[in-house]
Amino acid sequence: MKIAVVGTGYVGLVSGTCFAETGHHVICVDNDNSKVEKLKGGELTIYEPGLDTVFLRNTKEERLSFTTDLEGAVKASDVIFLALPTPPGEDGSADLSYVLGVAEQIGHIIDKDEYKVLVDKSTVPVGTAEKVHAVVAKNCKGAFDVVSNPEFLREGVAVDDFLRPDRVVIGTSSERAKETMQRLYEPFVRQGNPIYFMDERSAEMTKYAANSYLATRITFMNEIANLCEKVGANVDNVRIGMGSDGRIGKRFLFSGVGYGGSCFPKDVQALFKTAKEHNYDFKLLDSVMGVNGAQKFKLAEKMSAYFDGDLKGKKIAIWGLAFKPNTDDIREAPAIYTIRELLKAGAEVYAYDPEAMENMKEIFGDQVTFVEHRYDALKDVDALGIVTEWNLFRTPDFNYMGELMKDKVIFDGRNLYNTKDMKELGFYYNSIGRTTIY
């Protein structure tokens, strides 16, 4: 099949590359010329483990190409995926201007005697498939269907998630489009995972419900952790005890410094807004947003309390800037909130991340000292804050760290270390939902 993917960001680039990997011909379209030029030159524009191999193979074998020419790509394709941004608008609802803007252009392009399937891959509010349909229909001379196909990949493991999805959700009321989507996804679900066909509105809602549920689950654990600190329980033990109940499950129960990323924060907000528009007060989501907003300041608050509210002139190292490990993405990263608070209080910040430093430099510039190696951040610092659980931080040389640091003080927002070990090593060690070690 011939496929166009409009929007070549995290979702578009991964989806396009993975569709090419199953033998389809894919043209990725983006209106960012510099991005397209880089990709044409064989250079990836995002850090995503495993993507380089698949990307190089498929570009070399000419199944995957890049362009800024939307018209040419649409003309050459049977199926057109929209993997465009849906950022929060001023009132918190999803901004559909990218999706509807491109849909309108596509309407002008589809000619008589042509049939195209337009697929919403972006995360879009309930009712968007109908809006896209209306916008395309305004100018379209040919035939088309609009399908809702939300994407569930996680950054950092996106290629694997795409090639081996837990499930594929397709919202469509057209038999013709259903057949096309079935053929397209067949290779990804051969290992037995299902494709669920449903109506467009349910597919759109499924995406928001999944993300909001996961965000709620994490938030619940963050509140349990906060309470554990007060009552002297250990949230890691609690997590293991809870998670081994088959009804609860082990995954997505890790407490920390709040959820971040380009999806959970905006999608919870957008679902809350959808509820409001339908006169439904989704109180649970309101609490989730409030609790998560506060949790992102947790590490900075702990540090401030340790230094009796006076961080002025204190040297603080930060390990981890990306919103999660194995990505360079810093959208809504807890590290941004932590560093902002530290700088506001007059601290000097020395930061290290294996992949996200370039992106973070765009926010903080020379307000923060970015270092080449993790240990370079530690020279003479009063404390270290750990914000992202990169594997690289899991088993460091604690003795060497102790020699480098002015004081052996660690604030760990991801519970990477065993509290008993830290006691033996002589660190002050303050983590999330566990007793602080002096």
Ligand X SMILES: O=c1ccn([C@@H]2O[C@H](COP(=O)(O)OP(=O)(O)O[C@H]3O[C@H](CO)[C@@H](O)[C@H](O)[C@H]3O)[C@@H](O)[C@H]2O)c(=O)[nH]1
Ligand Y SMILES: NC(=O)c1ccc[n+]([C@@H]2O[C@H](COP(=O)([O-])OP(=O)(O)OC[C@H]3O[C@@H](n4cnc5c(N)ncnc54)[C@H](O)[C@@H]3O)[C@@H](O)[C@H]2O)c1
Binding residues: 30, 35, 86, 123, 152-155, 207, 252-256, 260, 266, 324, 331
Per CB under 6 A, contacts with ligand Y among 29-48 are 29-32, 35
Cβ-based nearer residue to ligand X, 218 or 349: 218
Could you count the other beta carbons within 10 Å of the beta carbon of residue 123? 22
Is residue 122 a contact residue for ligand Y (CB under 6 A)?
yes
Query: If you count DSSP H runs as helices and E runs as strands, how many of each does the chain have, helices first?
Result: 17, 14
User: Which range binds ligand X by CB under 6 A, 86-94, 148-156, 278-286, 335-343?
Assistant: 148-156
Is residue 265 a contact residue for ligand Y (CB under 6 A)?
no
Give the residue among 90, 105, 95, 122 at the shortest CA–CA distance from 7: 122
Cβ-based nearer residue to ligand X, 254 or 427: 254
The token pair at 29 is 């379209």
CA 51 – CA 18 distance, rounded (Å): 9
Of the candidates 16, 256, 354, 413, which one interacts with ligand X according to CB under 6 A?
256
Could you count the other beta carbons within 10 Å of the beta carbon of residue 32? 14
CA 435 – CA 331 distance, rounded (Å): 31
Is residue 297 a contact residue for ligand X (CB under 6 A)?
no
Annotated binding site for substrate: 152-155, 207, 252-256, 260, 324
Cβ-based nearer residue to ligand X, 107 or 258: 258
Cβ-based nearer residue to ligand X, 144 or 162: 162
User: Which range binds ligand X by CB under 6 A, 55-63, 147-155, 226-234, 297-305?
Assistant: 147-155
CA 47 – CA 60 distance, rounded (Å): 20
Give the residue among 60, 39, 433 at the shortest CA–CA distance from 231: 433
- Min. distance of Cβ 211 from ligand X in angstroms? 5
The partner in contact with residue 256, picked from ligand Y, ligand X, none with C-beta cut-offs of 5 to 8 angstroms by kind, is ligand X
CA 279 – CA 234 distance, rounded (Å): 40
Is residue 86 a contact residue for ligand Y (CB under 6 A)?
yes
CA 178 – CA 188 distance, rounded (Å): 16
Cβ-based nearer residue to ligand X, 30 or 236: 236
CA 369 – CA 358 distance, rounded (Å): 12
The alpha-carbon radius of gyration of the chain (Å, integer) is: 24
CA 181 – CA 147 distance, rounded (Å): 9
Is residue 180 a contact residue for ligand X (CB under 6 A)?
no
375-380 contacts, C-beta under 8 A, 24 or more apart: 375/400, 375/401, 375/404, 376/350, 376/352, 377/317, 377/318, 377/319, 377/350, 377/351, 377/352, 378/317, 378/350, 378/404, 378/405, 379/350, 379/404, 380/315, 380/404, 380/405, 380/406
Is residue 70 a contact residue for ligand X (CB under 6 A)?
no
- Min. distance of Cβ 196 from ligand Y in angstroms? 17
Question: How far is residue 296 CA from its own chain's centroid?
Answer: 16
Of the candidates 59, 122, 123, 430, which one interacts with ligand X according to CB under 6 A?
123
- Min. distance of Cβ 338 from ligand X in angstroms? 13
The partner in contact with residue 218, picked from ligand Y, ligand X, none with C-beta cut-offs of 5 to 8 angstroms by kind, is ligand X
Opening angle at CA 157, ends 167 and 163, nearest 5: 45
- Min. distance of Cβ 102 from ligand Y in angstroms? 5
Is residue 29 a contact residue for ligand X (CB under 6 A)?
no
Decide the pairing of beta strands 409-412 and 383-386: parallel
Is residue 337 a contact residue for ligand X (CB under 6 A)?
no
Is residue 307 a contact residue for ligand X (CB under 6 A)?
no
Size of the site for ligand X (CB under 6 A): 20
Active site residue 18: no
Is residue 153 a contact residue for ligand X (CB under 6 A)?
yes
Question: How far is residue 414 CA from its own chain's centroid?
Answer: 17
The partner in contact with residue 254, picked from ligand Y, ligand X, none with C-beta cut-offs of 5 to 8 angstroms by kind, is ligand X
Q: Which residue is nearest to ligand Y (CB)?
A: 9
Cβ-based nearer residue to ligand Y, 77 or 262: 262
Of the candidates 254, 272, 306, 429, which one interacts with ligand X according to CB under 6 A?
254
The token pair at 4 is 């166009």
Q: Which residues bind ligand Y (CB under 6 A)?
A: 6-12, 29-32, 35, 83-86, 98, 101-102, 122-123, 151, 153, 155, 262-263
Catalytic (active-site) positions: 263
